Copies of this chain bind each other. A is one copy, B any other.
């Protein structure tokens, strides 16, 4: 029974990877760099995008906004005059707690791939399942808010291990929290040694310049074939 269950999971992930490669081919054909952005609910993914996407030094971004339902975040980003496409997992996808490659594939016709350089896929807020499903991205970025506690890398190691950049957000709140930043970074290095990390505050703007520069440099590196 247990053996059967594991096999089903592996088959589903195999199918997902096949579709992710097809997505990847489409992104490559249009020369679009793709980020899969993940975090807990409310960690600040949308706020950190609002801070940087309107002025990316010539890089033209678009966003695929994943939510169980609703379009609140998409509306926030669209108000910055960015091309934003909403993908809801509730209608047709069973209210899934993550995006998978096939959901992203179903959204491709709605994306202006020939007019952009960067696609940010904002995943459903969840620290577990999004990390299990590649969607055809170049890199995975996660946001971890200091309000969530310093134990999170140890409790959700797959997520922290899956990403190439960790944005440690809401650092403006550090004076008001019982949060040991050194301990958090120690736990982070335990599960993903040396992974790139930035301390940021979407509210005050602290550190967002480095996040913007990282995105611009990522697109440049991807064009030079130096990513993946």
Contact = CB atoms under 8 A, between A and B. Distances in A.
Interface in A129-153: 129, 132, 145, 147-149, 151-152
Contact of A72 (B125, B154, B178): B154
A97 B132 CA distance: 11
Tell me the number of copies of this protein: 2
Interface in A61-101: 67-70, 72, 92, 94-97
Interface stretch (A2-10, A22-30, A217-225): A2-10
Interface string A24-41: 000000000000000011
Given A126-B126, A128-B68, A147-B147, A152 B97 contact: no
A118 B210 CA distance: 49
Q: What is the interface residue range for chain A against chain B?
A: 35 or more
A2 B68 CA distance: 17
A114 to B, nearest CB: 29
A193 interface: no
28 contacts: A2-B92, A5-B94, A6-B94, A9-B94, A40-B125, A41-B127, A41-B152, A41-B156, A42-B148, A42-B149, A68-B128, A68-B156, A69-B155, A69-B157, A70-B154, A70-B155, A72-B151, A95-B128, A125-B127, A125-B155, A125-B156, A126-B126, A126-B128, A147-B147, A147-B173, A173-B173, A173-B176, A173-B177
7 smallest A-B Cβ distances: which pairs? A42-B148, A97-B128, A147-B147, A42-B149, A40-B41, A41-B127, A97-B129
